[in-house]
Structure 1
Amino acid sequence: MIKNYLFKLLLGLTLTILISKINLAQNSQTLYYMNRIPQATLMNPAIQPSCNFFLGLPAISSIQVGVGNNQFGLTDIIMQNPNNDSLITFLHPDAEFDKSDFLDKLDENNFFFEDFQTDLLSFGFRANSWYFSFNLSEKVSVSLNYPKDLMVLALNGNESFFNETADLSMLGVNLLSYREYGLGISKKIGNDLTIGIRAKVLFGHVSVVTDNRSLGFYSSLDSIYINANTYVNTSSPMIPKTTPEGEFDGFDEPTNFDAVDYALQHNNMGLGVDLGVYYKPISKLALSLSVIDLGYIKWDTDVTNLKLSGNFTFKGIDYGNQIINDTVGDPFSTIIDSLENSFKITNKSKSYTTGLGTKIYFGTSWLISQKFDLSFLYRGYFLNEQLNSAYTFSANARAARWLTTTVSYSIMNGTYNNIGFGLVLGGAPLQLYLITDNASAALWGHKTSSVNFRFGLNINIGCRQKSKDKDIPLFRRGFF
């Protein structure tokens, strides 16, 4: 009864989150089923690592970097100049590429992303059927959303929207940088159920959030009309500047700024929680579900509120003939500068709240033998009200106590060529690991739209399991 209730509870919470608007941050898909690595608990707090104690070496126990987009490979953006050996971008006048083909690759809503995570300190230990863990982490995530209409404007000019409105309301930037203190608790119930929770206290460093309620572009034969109702909220040590007319004029760096002192402050407090469950309905099958980064940060320090609202009129311009030397020409820049200077700084700095980039994971694993299993993992998250999904199939082999390898295949970020790899060397007392969802980038990097990797070094103690533990489920069993 309790098992069914827990699954229904988490499933209901999953559906609730998937209809909310949240931001983007990603972990390696391949990590999820590499349960010899203590950092796997970051993706599901129900996981109990096989060693009784671990210590993550400061700053190097877990480093994750990811960058990518949902449509383009490197060769779609950068190409060889047909007239010489130099490299040029697709905007260069000598570039030989099909505009129609380029635009056809775009979705109505497109994005770029970049994220970075590192653990400054982490450790965990087992106490009978309980497992406790702690992490002190720094996290940064950046995402840029842009609509297809924006690229149509940039490549074809305003003539594409004569007597029509280009919808730019999906245009937005989101940046979050914060520190996380996490305390995880996992409890094994019987032989086939484990539940876990991680409570987190957060302190924000820097934030830039766009609230683009409406942004439209309309073109007639002699004029361009832009209607905007856009808000940008920032929290950072940068000092906003204004013109004598009160218009926004960029940011200045503060004098005598100490980056280390600023990073150590405990401002912009937030709370978060991770939830997870592992369940074995039969001996060889494991099911799992987790909700990660459910929470918020309230930004109330060094806040700047910007507002762009109203109607703006410009003389008609054909952008298609204004792309020069890899940059959009002066007329387009003039419009951008005019819009930037039309932002107003509100009289009061009003606090605002951001989400953390909540993710939902559902996984299943089939144990072929004690040294080999096959797994499937689904991840879902929302980016500016659009559901993004990732699907990963993996084969996990434990060839020896000191060697674990994983090969994965993922459908993610609009691409189908993501072959991942994971390697764990050693066990006790030292463990080195390297994981990526995109090892295939080494083979066809020119077609790869995203790359991520995670690596680190741990100290493990108490990794050998006694023979009486032979019936312990896969996610708790030791392989060292």
Structure 2
Amino acid sequence: MRKVIWLLLCITGLTFSQNKQVLYGFSEIPQALMLNPGGEIKNDWYFGIPLLSHIHTSVGISGSTVYDVFADDGVDFNTKLRNAIYSMRSNDFFSANQQLEIFSGGFAYGTSYNKNKYISFGMYQEFDFITYFPKDYAILAYEGNQNNINRRFNAGHASGSAEVISVLHVGFNKKVNRTFSFGVRGKIYSNILNLTTTKNKGYFVTEYGENNFYNHIFNLDLELRTSGLASLTDDDTDSEAVAKALKKRALFGGDLGLGFDIGFSHKLSKQWTVDGSLLDIGFISHSKDVENYKIAGNYAFEGANPIFPETGSGQTAEEYWSEIEDEFETLFTVDTTANKYITWRPIKLNASLNYAFGEKRSEECNCLKEDVGYLNAVGLQLYAIKRPKQPQMALTAYYYRRLFKGLRAKATYTVDSYSFSNIGFGLSAHIGAVNFYLMADNFLQYKNVYDAQSVSLQLGFNYIFNKNED
């Protein structure tokens, strides 16, 4: 058990939602093609600096924050804890996502005068975690069951998943004509670690008993499915063996899966553009190192004698609690299996409508320069991701500006599951053929990160040969 805890702490310690609203549509950055394989492309070829081309980390919570409970504001801790428990819903969640691009590249091809096709490729590692607030469990732990006689506590409030995967991908983009382009990206997923418990059902209720003070009734259908965990937590497995196993799985030595992305971009007019994409349409089949734990059935427990026997009986308090523990172990039989299972990827939707304006003029003649695009753009972007209980959605308004040669900026305002005041900002700089970008959101909450509903950071380095130098 200690190894399980250590492993999970290591994973979550590396990470700080998956929405990349600042990066989406930022076509000067090659990684924007990962969000829409049919998007606009502004380079002839590029390669990402290995392990530095795209680093992304984000964390969010849709309910009470750490600050709400632990703030030094003179309010009693128990009061703040109670307020936090009762203000949150069972659909509130905590999520974290981290991506590290291992390598990437892309190149245009076609006729010498019309290179209208583009191949992109690469490999990245991703960690994704979500857990929902187990409200009835929290209330039961806080209040106990003595004051909740005949109340049914929902066992289905326990829900969550965590995974670490590596992804090898190849994409194809074609510019059909001056107004329309489309793209598709194929993916091979390699599972490194997976934990899933999302289909729990049942309840727990306490009633007055006949043979004892209380009768505890359980109607349970709980399951935790794991892949890649059992061998890592074996008592005979040392840290060197763990590292070797993780490396092998990252290089497609684990459970595999297939998936694809699709996307398009269409110019409605010279200034209006609509685009969209569906990402991670696919699955992973888990059959190696699988260990599943399931409790299902109806149980009743009236407990051991709740009044300690007379001192002369010889039974100690330790023996009394051991008796209760033995009763529970006998009552709840955990069924452990190695049945293979399939997990479906969290499908993501992106769609946006954009308006460009502000044509570039020459200082010498006060006339329009050769067609190099517009200096400004505004738009709306819709994002959604499929999650175990319900989809997460976000709506973003943005302003994009080409500041001067080699420097672009984008500001965003997002309404999502976390807050109504998410302001983000991103910069992309080209120094010669080297591109560097840095993006972050929720700037208004950086003054107190403990009270932040979500934070996100993206950065990367690429070497780019551009089609047009303006």
Equivalence for 2:356: 367
Please give the secondary structure, in 2, of the residue aligned with 1:75. helix
Aligned to 1:257: 241
Deviates more, 1:220-229 or 1:95-104: 95-104
Q: Which amino acid aligns with 2:105?
A: F
Deviation per residue, 1:171-218 (Å, 9 max, x gap): 122111111011011111111111010000111111111143313121
Match of 1:298 in 2: 285
Superposition deviation, residue 260 in structure 1: 3.8
Cα offset, 1:261, TM superposition: 4.8
> CA-to-partner distance for each residue in 1:271-329, whole Å, 9 max, x for gaps?
0100101111122111111101110111111111211122344569xxxxxxxxxxxxx
How far apart are residue 226 of structure 1 and its match? 2.5
> 2:334 is matched with which residue?
344
Paired residue type of 2:424: G
Whether 1:398 and 2:402 are equivalent positions in the alignment is: yes
Q: Supply the distance in 2 between the matched residues of 1:73 and 1:261 (Cα, whole angstroms).
A: 36
Matches within 5 A, 1:351-430: 351-369=340-358, 370-426=374-430, 428-430=432-434
1:324-383 CA-to-partner distances (Å, cap 9, x unmatched) read: xxxxxxx9xx99x9589946243x511111122111111111112211111211111222
Structure 1 residue 238, shift from structure 2 partner: 3.0
Structure 1 pair 423–108 and aligned structure 2 pair: CA distance change class (3 A): same
Say which one has the larger Rg. Answer: 2
Query: Is the Cα–Cα contact under 8 Å of residues 286 and 341 in structure 2 kept in the other structure?
Result: yes
* 1:224 aligned onto 2:208: no
Match of 2:14 in 1: none
Range 150-159 or range 280-289, more displaced: 150-159
Q: 1:420 to 1:239 in 2, by over 3 A?
A: same
Distance 2:229 2:157 in 1: 27
Given the two structures, how large is their TM-score scaled by the length of structure 1? 0.78
1:62-101 paired onto structure 2 within 5 Å: 62-80=54-72, 82=74, 94-95=76-77, 97-98=79-80, 101=83
Aligned to 1:151: 138
Contact 2:196 2:225 in 1 (8 A): yes
Aligned position for 1:206: 193
1:98/1:444 CA distance change after superposition, 3 Å:
closer
Distance 1:200 1:189 in 2: 23
Tell me which residue corresponds to 1:113: 95
8 Å CA contact 1:375–1:395 kept in 2: the answer is yes
Deviation at 1:251, TM superposition (A): 5.4
Residue type at the aligned position of 1:226: F
For the residue of structure 2 that corresponds to 1:158, the secondary structure is coil
1:146 CA displacement: 2.7
The CA deviation at 1:103 is: 4.0
Instruction: Normalising by structure 2, report the TM-score.
Output: 0.80
Please say if residues 237 and 254 of structure 1, whose CA atoms lie closer than 8 Å, have aligned partners that are also in contact.
no
Q: Specify which of 137, 155, 162 is matched with residue 149 of structure 2.
A: 162
Deviation at 1:237, TM superposition (A): 4.8
Q: Does 1:33 align with 2:6?
A: no
Deviation at 1:252, TM superposition (A): 3.6
Name the aligned partner's letter for residue 280 of structure 1: K
Distance in structure 2 (CA, Å) of the matches to 1:343 and 1:239: 22
In structure 2, relative to structure 1, the CA distance for the partners of 1:34 and 1:231 (3 Å cut) is: same
Contact 2:155/2:204, CA 8 A, preserved across alignment: yes
- Aligned partner letter, 2:182: I
Q: Match for 2:248: what amino acid?
A: L
- Asked if structure 1 preserves the Cα contact closer than 8 Å seen for 2:422 and 2:441, the reply is yes
Residues 1:437 and 2:432 are matched in the alignment: no
**Counterpart residue identity of residue 352, structure 1:** Y
Matching residue's letter, 1:421: F
Q: State the one-letter code of the partner of 1:361.
A: N
Where do residues 183-202 of structure 1 align in structure 2 (5 Å cutoff)? 183-202=170-189
Counterpart CA distance in 2 for 1:340 and 1:274 is: 49
What are the equivalent positions in structure 2 for 1:246-285 lying under 5 Å apart? 252=235, 254-255=237-238, 257-265=241-249, 266-285=253-272
Counterpart residue type for residue 46 of structure 1: G
Q: 1:251 to 1:216 in 2, by over 3 A?
A: farther
CA contact (8 A) 1:110 1:148 kept: no
Partners in 2 of 1:285 and 1:435 — Cα distance? 25
Which SS does the other structure have where 1:77 is aligned?
helix
Q: Does the C-alpha gap of structure 1 residues 77 and 40 become closer, same or farther in structure 2, counting only changes over 3 Å?
A: farther
Counterpart of 2:18, as a letter, is Q
1:48 aligned to 2:40? yes
Count of equivalent residues: 405
In the TM superposition, residue 159 of structure 1 has moved relative to its aligned partner by 4.8
The answer to whether the 8 A contact 1:413-1:450 is kept is no
Whether contact under 8 Å (1:236, 1:302) holds in the other structure is: yes
Cα distance in 2 for partners of 1:44, 1:230 equals 38
Residue deviations 1:147-186, cap 9 Å, x none? 4323322333325642121213131221111110110111
8 Å contact 1:410–1:437 — kept in the other structure? no
Change (3 A) 1:405 1:230: same
Kindly provide the amino acid, as one letter, of the partner of residue 349 in structure 1: A
Letter paired with 1:344 = V
Distance 1:36 1:340 in 2: 63
- The letter of the residue matching 1:47 is G
1:257 partner SS: helix
In structure 2, the CA distance between the partners of 1:152 and 1:75, relative to structure 1 (3 Å rule), is same
Q: Gaps spanning 5+ residues in structure 1: where? A: 1-24, 83-89, 241-249, 317-330, 466-479
Aligned to 1:458: 462
* Counterpart secondary structure, 2:92: strand
For residues 422-479 of structure 1, what are the alpha-carbon distances to aligned partners after superposition, in whole Å with 9 as ceiling and x for unaligned? Answer: 11122541111111222223235343211111111111113425xxxxxxxxxxxxxx
Q: Secondary structure at the match of 2:435?
A: strand
The answer to whether the Cα contact below 8 Å between 2:216 and 2:301 also exists between their aligned partners in 1 is yes
Distance 1:199 1:209, change over 3 A: same
2:84 aligned residue (85, 102, 107): 102
Whole-angstrom distance in 1 between the partners of 2:33 and 2:328: 49
**Residue in structure 1 matched with residue 6 of structure 2 by the alignment:** none
For the Cα contact (< 8 Å) 2:69–2:80, is it kept in 1? no
| Matched position secondary structure for 1:362 | strand
* Cα separation, 1, equivalents of 2:51 and 2:70: 34
Contact kept, 8 Å, 1:429 with 1:461, in 2: the verdict is yes
- What amino acid does structure 1 have at the position aligned with 2:395? Y
> Following TM superposition, by how much is the alpha carbon of 1:35 offset from its aligned partner in structure 2, in angstroms?
1.5
Question: What amino acid maps onto 1:77 in structure 2?
Answer: V
